[in-house]
Amino acid sequence: MGLKMNRNLVLAIIAVVVIGGGVYLLNQDAEKSIDTAVIKQRIELMRKDVLGNFKVVKAYVKDGKGSMADIETAAKGIQAAAGKIPALFPKGTGRPDVDDKTTRSLAKIWDDWGTFEKAAQAMGAHAGHIAMYAAQENADEVKKHFGLMGKEGCGACHKPFRGPKAEK
């Protein structure tokens, strides 16, 4: 009887360990897929909504290409995207928590969250000014705020918070 009871106890312990380990591994996979999903969302936002619209404004500022209506629309797109940026950077979705090939976001973001948010807000504010001045056909102010957006928004984020591209 004692041997049978010990055997049942050992089997029960093994079952608990196997089930517990499986639940733990499933939870780890779920967390990683959430992280990867938000990283993909922010990369898409940056490429499509920020960079795509930035190029429209830059083409006007640097080469005189496009219309003020194009600039106004593009700047509004950047402004809308800027408001979404902080939510797409939950803690744990940057290096070293996520591999270098998946993200260029550095852990400094969460160590200095206020500066990170300030850069996103500056990008949105200057984009709003660009849109307003484009609607008024004021090219000088469009150019001025484009430069400020690059310095206080894009640059203020990318310089301290963005790591180098990973080697392939």
**How many other CB atoms sit within 10 Å of the CB of residue 129?**
20
- Mean pLDDT, residues 77-90: 98
Chain-wide mean pLDDT for the chain?
Answer: 88
Among the listed residues 73, 38, 82, 80, the one whose alpha carbon sits nearest the alpha carbon of residue 55: 73
Considering only residues 9 and 46, tell me which one the structure prediction assigns the higher pLDDT.
Answer: 46
pLDDT above 70 (res 26): no
Confidence band (pLDDT; 50, 70, 90) for 127? Answer: very high
Task: Yes or no: say if 131 and 56 are a contact pair by the CB < 8 Å rule.
Answer: no
Q: What is the pLDDT of residue 10?
A: 63
Compute the distance between CA of residue 65 and CA of residue 131 in angstroms, rounded to an integer. Answer: 16
Confidence band (pLDDT; 50, 70, 90) for 4? Answer: low
- Mean pLDDT, residues 80-87: 98
95 forms bridges with which residues in the sheet?
A: 106
Q: What is the pLDDT of residue 167?
A: 86
Domains along the sequence of the chain with CATH: 2-161 (1.20.120.10)
Task: Yes or no: say if 142 and 128 are a contact pair by the CB < 8 Å rule.
Answer: no
- Mean pLDDT, residues 74-88: 98
- Mean pLDDT, residues 50-64: 97
Q: What is the pLDDT of residue 149?
A: 98
pTM of the model: 0.79
pLDDT above 50 (res 27): no
Considering only residues 7 and 150, tell me which one the structure prediction assigns the higher pLDDT.
Answer: 150
Phi first, then psi, for residue 42 (nearest 5°) are -70, -35
162 forms bridges with which residues in the sheet?
A: 105
